[in-house]
Structure 1
């Protein structure tokens, strides 16, 4: 493996981690800057498409709306693999997503097991996500108590 390939894999891992961290901060404006201008995002649950988005502005608005009632968002990115071919790449990342919200005066924690399949492009010497398919494979919801 040459240094360029290794460096690109590190940059791609940093990209998906930045996307998650900005999502956790609900900084959707900066989060979508890590996607190409006309990127597409598709979210599936139980094998069915539940959201299809195209373009940064549409994505930022939809992400904000989807998480408007969530107090805490926490992504924990797990294993990821990338295949790089010049200025294009594909990748798969496993992720645990935790959402904490107040529902009827109870604190509810929802945990989602997700797999993201991404297509990346290098533009202006930086990697961006051009297409993301998020497959929410399972979900668990339970009441939690604060101290």
Structure 2
């Protein structure tokens, strides 16, 4: 039998709060709530986008919460999006934590009769911090594993 770690109630609550944070990010993206999405990050956050996860240098880097607005507003180019968060692994260390979350991000574009779906397979590598009993993203690396583009039939 594998070793099973018994979690304290505080650890369970922290893990649940972090998972809520991860899901809130996706919900805000899909509802185009850029301000709500930005509020999930610390003021001095580091947010990096790697359009190819094999690259060592990011394609885009943001060093504070306010500069996230154009990244999140960019979702408005799509008719609709739907992010599906999958498995995640969270490692707690007091008021900080690290985590990896898998996500399929669906992006729909409709131009006249032309419908296209772009699906990005994403891994998020996160650092979290708990401030005044609330968890925030301190650092988020968005790494795209692959992208699939396909036309949709009506």
Range class of TM-score, shorter chain: over 0.9
1:35 matched to 2:41? The reply is: yes
Task: Kindly provide the CA deviation profile for residues 96-130 of structure 1, in whole angstroms up to 9, marking residues without a partner as x.
Answer: 00000135751110001000010000011100001
Matches for 1:111-122 after TM superposition, within 5 Å: 111-122=119-130
Report the counterpart of residue 3 of structure 2 in structure 1: none
1:127 matched to 2:138? The reply is: no
Report the counterpart of residue 62 of structure 2 in structure 1: 53
> How many residues align structurally?
145
Q: Which 5+ residue runs of structure 1 have no aligned equivalent?
A: none
CA–CA distance in structure 2, aligned partners of residues 22 and 63 of structure 1: 9
Q: Output the TM-score relative to the length of structure 2.
A: 0.89
Report the counterpart of residue 94 of structure 1 in structure 2: 102
Higher Rg: 2
CA–CA distance in structure 2, aligned partners of residues 13 and 63 of structure 1: 20
